[in-house]
Amino acid sequence: MENGKRSELVIDADGHIIEPPDLWERYLEPNYRARAIRIRKDADGWEYLEVDGKPAQCTPKGTLGRLSSMGRQVQEMKRLREEWVKGGRKGPPPFIRATPEETYLEGAGYGTMDPKERLKKMDEEGLTKSVLFPTLGLNWEAETKDADYANACCRAYNRWIADFCRDSGGRLVPAAHISLGNPALAAAELERAVKDGCKIAFISPYTITRKPHGHPDHDIVFATAQDLGVPLAVHPNFEPKEFTIHTRFEPMRGGAGIWYGDMFTNQGSIMAFATMFVFGVWDKFPRLKFVILESGSGWIGWWLNRADALFKETLIGGGLPLAECPSYYFNRQCFISGDPDETVLRYIIDYVGTDKFFWASDFPHADHPVNYMEEIFELVEKMSPAGRRGILGENVARALDLN
């Protein structure tokens, strides 16, 4: 500790901001502005997300005020949860007891919408830097199959997040949103956004064209990322119902159904990651850096074991167009972000690679605990020095070339 502050490099690899409701009205190019993403109210006073002139289907009305409940509402949410559990879990869980009065802006807590507040919060927590991702930006892409429109919305957000982070002295790190619907436009926007200050770009776990992420049509994006030296990341988003993996069973209602869905949000990211091996992306682009975000990381040890075993020891693996086994490419080119409450990480980091792991708060979203700083330092307490330094901040700083 120095002057009451931690002297270690501590970087949140995946924090979030709450976008202003008029972002797309202000930042979209004029020819798209009439189709801007907006927050509207229906006749009964419920807020809803509007995308391209239509109510969002994958974001239920009344939920916008709860998107950031780790922020302003977190203590109240904890109290309501305790009361709900003590009461025998009767009725819907507190998270889905929305009212029209709980608006998007009312739900935005301290440090979620103002860069100066975010920096003060980081100072209080001992964070050196935070890589910032969107909130509404994880919702709207599920509502369109218009690739040109999707790229326009990405461009607008990327211009805004670069402005949001610009005067932070490099402590707020902007992540660009890229849509693969039109790969040429995506590559052009990636180059523009990086020149504007973005240090990483993320893509959804699905594509609106239904082409796998590793498909050669996306090579222009991989080549651009490689040439720019910036990582591409896959980050869970809201998914169109016809694309999502959560269609095997009839819908599970209520709080238990929400729990079930959240437990498997990582599956789309794992599938997207696997397609990069199917199409031999790693040999074509040996300097491409790829990051798996908000999908847990304890699974990666088993996954690489299984992928290597199939590749080296079975006829099934002979079909992969790879010169080396899958773990070789992960070790050479990939990174993965874990949650602070993944206590299993202290047992696998040295095995998989101390230079491969990040940590992330997911602040201010509702599906992660609020005591993430306490948890991350408990997690690293028994790690090797290299593992501790790496996951706390050195790995993400190196991958994103953060000074």
Residue 76 is predicted with a pLDDT of 64
**Which amino acid is present at 153?**
C
Rg (CA), the chain: 21
Statement: residue 287 has pLDDT above 50: yes
Give the integer Cα–Cα distance in Å for 379 and 174: 26
Indicate the DSSP class of residue 21. T
Statement: residue 306 has pLDDT above 80: yes
Residue 93 is predicted with a pLDDT of 63
Residue 156 is predicted with a pLDDT of 98
Average pLDDT value for residue range 296-324? 91
Statement: residue 346 has pLDDT above 50: yes
Q: What is the layout of strands, in order, in the sheet containing 38-41?
A: 38-41, 47-51, 54-55
Hey, what are 392's tokens? Answer: 């706390």
3-state DSSP call for residue 212?
A: coil
> Between 177 and 104, where is the model more confident?
177
Average pLDDT value for residue range 135-152? 95
Give the integer Cα–Cα distance in Å for 124 and 193: 30
Average pLDDT value for residue range 45-67? 87
pLDDT tens profile 185-240: 999 999 999 999 999 999 999 999 999 999 999 999 999 999 999 999 999 988 88
Question: Could you please report the per-residue DSSP string of 305-336?
Answer: HHHHHHHHHSTGGGGS--SS-HHHHHHHHEEE
pLDDT tens profile 144-153: 999 999 999 9
> Which residue's structure tokens are 């301290």?
110
Q: Are 229 and 285 in contact (CB under 8 A)?
A: no
> What is the residue-averaged pLDDT of the chain?
90
pLDDT tier for residue 275 given thresholds of 50, 70 and 90: very high
pLDDT tier for residue 395 given thresholds of 50, 70 and 90: very high
Alpha helices (H) in 104-253, listed in sequence order: 104-107, 115-125, 147-165, 183-195, 219-228
pLDDT tier for residue 3 given thresholds of 50, 70 and 90: very low
* Sequence-separated (6 or more) residues with CB below 8 Å from residue 102: 62, 65, 66
Residue 251 is predicted with a pLDDT of 75
Give the integer Cα–Cα distance in Å for 195 and 307: 36
Residues recorded for the chain: 403
Residue 91 is predicted with a pLDDT of 65
Statement: residue 391 has pLDDT above 50: yes
> Which residue's structure tokens are 């890589």?
131
CA angle 338, 343, 349 (to 5 degrees): 60
Average pLDDT value for residue range 318-322? 89
Residue 250 is predicted with a pLDDT of 78
168: number of CA atoms within 13 Å, CB side? 26
Residue 274 is predicted with a pLDDT of 96
Statement: residue 72 has pLDDT above 80: no
Residue 221 is predicted with a pLDDT of 98
Statement: residue 97 has pLDDT above 70: no
> Between 242 and 135, where is the model more confident?
135
Give the integer Cα–Cα distance in Å for 161 and 17: 9
Query: Domain boundaries in the chain?
Result: 11-19+114-399
Give the integer Cα–Cα distance in Å for 38 and 267: 29
Residue 98 is predicted with a pLDDT of 66
Average pLDDT value for residue range 374-392? 94
Global pTM exceeds 0.85: yes
Q: CA of 74: how far to CAs of 13, 94, 130, 202, in Å? A: 21, 11, 20, 27
Average pLDDT value for residue range 266-284? 94
Indicate the DSSP class of residue 392. I
Statement: residue 75 has pLDDT above 90: no
Give the integer Cα–Cα distance in Å for 17 and 15: 7
Taking residue 286's Cβ as centre, other Cβ atoms within 10 Å add up to 11
The CATH number of 11-19+114-399 is 3.20.20.140
> Between 211 and 108, where is the model more confident?
211
